[in-house]
A and B are shown apart, each in its own frame.
Chain A
């Protein structure tokens, strides 16, 4: 049965309204402040340490993103931790708040499909995150220019732009998860709690659990241990398990793109190193190819989560 009219009718209206809501909301301001201050702290440390070793590095700007100076993690690692928080903050009450305010049936009685409402909300939240990340990106480039005094090269800009795009996809995964939960749970508090639970599990517990599970599934051969090496079977299992978490996918993709000397993201095999000059940077295109599977993984995760939410929302009763 074909539906009459476009499912996207009203999409732009919903998008504009939600975007305006987000940008003017106190919640968004708080999230932004949190991210900007944490990021500034990381950048400050990074700039300090970079000024000490003089400008020999051809990718000085990228080092700003990745260098970590204990006790602070790197700028990218901080974003990997905080982007989910921002996405959850914008998505956890997307649908259930419309139910609770009793605006849903009034809005859906206008000539639009539910698709437009859900999609508009998703895109508006993603655009809000995109705008914040772009501002943050400009901040990094600006600070690099001022304090390091090196104009960024074209490749550095290109790589950092890839960072921006992948970060937005990464936010998409968390946003669609939060929105899915906002459809499943009528209470925004429950949805928020469950999303935060998933976030903490995947970013804190999973990196500890994955090696333990890998050890149980594929116990490492004691002979490797004697040689002081990791059993490759166990290592592969660990990595595959870790990759179930979007945080890990984001981290790997960022490693490939922002550290140009990264040749591979898995355990290293000898044939991959054939003819390689250790430490030599890869061309931009090849780095992107290394990060490609991770990026696709993030996009696929977004699509799967969004589609589940979409299906649930289509079947949901409009009345409270």
Chain B
């Protein structure tokens, strides 16, 4: 019932990116193979998949930066192949391993792209200053980019998207090569974009991060989208269940009681007083109630959220790929 409501709401919200049968061939090799997806406004959408699965190619097609062999994609209801300028005016792009002009300062680098965006001078100055403050580069605004660390460059790239006031931010492996602290900060910045209503599309290999910030993910394999949806949905589909709840409690017949909770698919008895339940939803309240009902004493109740890592590992283990392509 709630699923149906969700679906209805989702179709009612407008889609900012729609791909139908999107395909890219290089000579004879199919790199992106007839993929379909819709991305709703304000959503954070993750592209996952092994190296060479076709994530970057898909992104480049959405920006009109590489040819579309067949199928179509519409971005903010424009066709990037025919109206690239309209698309690129509204979409911000942070390429993987982004580069800047090393001899120019952070501000000068942004000023150049802001000019290319067609912003008038006063507006440019104002937006650049604000963006640099926001990504935490205000102190080094007039330092040459040559002296910047990888994390700083990455944040400068994000500042460019902020200057553009993009409706959609496309980030290709934004956190690769960042240390945990920098990653954390960067994910925070992406979260801010989302809270402003900006649609974020990001590709990544770091599954736990993707899981933390993405509303939905698409799993690429050899140019196809093999799985798509919210992480809990995928967990049910691939792992058979999403949540693993561990209960530590004493009492008679607890295992039997736990097994009767709706949504629980399996109960393992790990020790006399420890049980592990696999469930489709977070059944902690029900488990607590069950323990109390048999007059047991509850010592610990923990839940493992469905992990994308597990889904990913399971998926590629169950369906071994014939050839894993390598990115050029």
Residues on A facing B (Cβ under 8 Å): 1, 3-5, 9-10, 13-14, 17, 21, 101-103, 105-113, 317-320
Contact = CB atoms under 8 A, between A and B. Distances in A.
Given A10-B116, A111-B116, A106 B99 contact: yes
Contacts of A112: 85, 88, 116
Given A4-B82, A109-B93, 10 more contacts: A4-B83, A4-B84, A10-B118, A13-B115, A106-B157, A107-B113, A110-B113, A110-B117, A111-B84, A111-B116
B131 to A, nearest CB: 15
Contacts of B60: 105, 318-319
Closest 7 CB pairs of A and B: A102-B99, A109-B93, A110-B116, A5-B85, A111-B89, A13-B115, A105-B95
24 contacts: A4-B82, A5-B86, A10-B118, A13-B112, A13-B116, A17-B115, A101-B99, A101-B100, A101-B101, A102-B95, A103-B101, A105-B60, A105-B65, A106-B93, A106-B113, A107-B113, A109-B65, A109-B91, A109-B92, A111-B86, A111-B88, A111-B89, A111-B117, A111-B118
B65 A106 contact: no
Given A4-B84, A5-B85, A106 B116 contact: no
Contacts of A102: 95, 97-99
Contacts of A13: 112, 115-116
Contacts of B91: 109
Contact of A101 (B63, B85, B102, B160): B102
A109 B97 contact: no
B277 to A, nearest CB: 47
A16 to B, nearest CB: 8
Interface in B80-139: 82-86, 88-89, 91-95, 97-103, 112-113, 115-118
Contacts, number: 82
A103 B84 CA distance: 19
B77 interface: no
Nearest to A315: B67
Nearest to A116: B116
A113 B99 contact: no
Given A103-B99, A110-B88, A318 B66 contact: yes
Contacts of A103: 99-101
A13 B112 CA distance: 7
Nearest to B153: A102
Given A103-B100, A318-B66, A111 B85 contact: yes
B56 interface: yes
A106 B95 contact: yes
A113 B95 contact: no
A13 B92 CA distance: 19
Contacts of B56: 319
A101 B113 CA distance: 15
Indicate the member of A9, A103, A107 with the most B CB atoms within 10 Å. A103
Contacts of A108: 65
Nearest to B116: A110
B209 to A, nearest CB: 23
A133 to B, nearest CB: 25
A319 B102 CA distance: 19
Contacts of B113: 106-107, 110
A15 to B, nearest CB: 11
Nearest to B172: A105
B91 to A, nearest CB: 8
A200 to B, nearest CB: 30
Contacts of B157: 106
Interface in B252-300: none
Contacts of A320: 97
A4 to B, nearest CB: 4
Contacts of A319: 56, 60, 95
A319 B60 CA distance: 9
Interface in B49-64: 56, 60, 63
Contacts of B65: 105, 108-109, 318
